[in-house]
Structure 1
Amino acid sequence: MNLISAGFSGFALGGSLIVAIGAQNAFILRQGLIRSHVFVLCLICAASDALLIAAGVGGLGTIVSQSPLLISVVTLAGALFLATYSAMAFRRAVKPGAMVAGTPEGMALKAAVMTCLAFTFLNPHVYLDTVVLLGSLSAAYQGPERVAYGAGAVIASFAWFFGLGYGARYLAPLFARPAAWRVLDGLIGVVMGLLALGLLISFLRGA
C-alpha cells in the first residue's frame, strides 16, 4: 500500500509540474497538430524527463541546487533560444507564404529533434522541476517507495506528452483554416517571448 501511495504522489506532483503551459508543451502541440514526427518527439520529451527525474531521485538535485553558475548559464542560453523561437513563431503568424493549403510546413526530422532537445535541456525550469523539486521531495521516501515515487513521476510524463502529441489531432478541424494557425503561432510567440523575458530577468537578478 505504501508503494501505491508513493507512486501516486510522484504521478500527481510530476503531472502537475509537466502540465503547466511551457515551451515544450507548445512545441509538441504544434507538431501534433501537423502530425509531424509526433512519436519521436514525444519519446524524446518523456525519456528526457525520465532521465532527469531518475537523476534527481538519485541525489543529483542537491548538486544542481548548489551550482549557481550552472543555473545561470542554462538560464541565459534558454532565454536566447526562446527569444529566437518566439520571433520565428511571430514570423509564421504574419507571413501567409508560410502556409500551404491551410497546413503549416513541417520541420525535417533532424531539425525537429534538435529543437525538441533545445526546448528540453536549455530550460532551467526543467532542471528545477524534475531534478531539484521532485528529487528533493523524494527524500521523504526510502528504498522501494522512493523508486515507486520516481516511477510515478516518469509515468505522468509519458502519459502527458503522448496524450498531448496524439490528442492534438482531434483539434485538426479547428485548424483547417490558415487563420487558426496564425492565432496559434501568435500565441506561441507570446508564450515563448514571455518565458524568454522571465528567464532574462532571472539571469540579471542573479548576476
Structure 2
Amino acid sequence: MTSALAKIEDFPSDPVEFFKQILQAAAEGHPEGFMQEMNLATVDEEFGVLNRTVLYRGLTADNFVFYITHRYTRNFKNLQANPKACITFYMPDVKDQAGKDTTWQVRLIGATAVELPQDEMDGLWAKENLASQIRGHICPCGEPINYDDLKAKHDKFLQEHSGKSIERPASYTAWQFQPQRWDFLKVGLNEIADRVQYRLQSNGKWESMHIAT
C-alpha cells in the first residue's frame, strides 16, 4: 500500500478563473455535448435542508454561477424564503498536467442567491431544448400524477406545437449565486486530498490559501 499528499499547484489569484480551468480539464476526453451538474443545497421550512442535483448553466457577465428553474418548484420557493445556499461540483477522472487521473470537488460556500432580471429570460429560453420547454408547460413539479394522463398531455402539446416556437412561461426564471468562499479539493488514488480555499475580503478581493482536509 502507498500513501501520498495531493498538491494543488500554480492556481490563479481569481477563483472563477481556476474554476474555468478545472471545468475545461473535466470536459476533455468526453463526447461532444458534455454537461456539468452541480448539487444545490437550500434551507427548507418543512424538511430543514434539501439538496438536489441540477444542471450547471454557466457564468453570468459578472462571473457568478447561475442555474435555471421555475417559480413553482420547491427550490425556487426555498431560495425566495432564504437566499442562503451551498453548491458542490463533483468532477472525477480529471487529467492533470502529467496525465494522472484526479478527482476535484469545488464548493461555493455561504452563497447568496439573487434572481436574474426578467429581461434576460428570453435569451435563455431560446437556448432550451424541446423537452425542457415542454416540461415547463405541462409538468406540475412535486405533485402526484398519473403517468398515462401526463403522457397524453405531452403528446398533444408536442403535436399542437410541431414546427412552432413555444412561448416562455411566466414561471421560467434563473438564480445567480454570490459566494463568500470558493473551496477547491483535489485528490488522486491513495492520496490525502489537498484543498485551496479563496475567502472574500472586506475590500472585495480574494485571499487564497491551502487548508487541511
TM-score by length of 2: 0.25
User: Going by fraction, where is strand more abundant, 1 or 2?
Assistant: 2
Point out which structure has higher relative CO (alpha carbons under 8 A, 6+ apart). Answer: 1
User: Going by fraction, where is helix more abundant, 1 or 2?
Assistant: 1
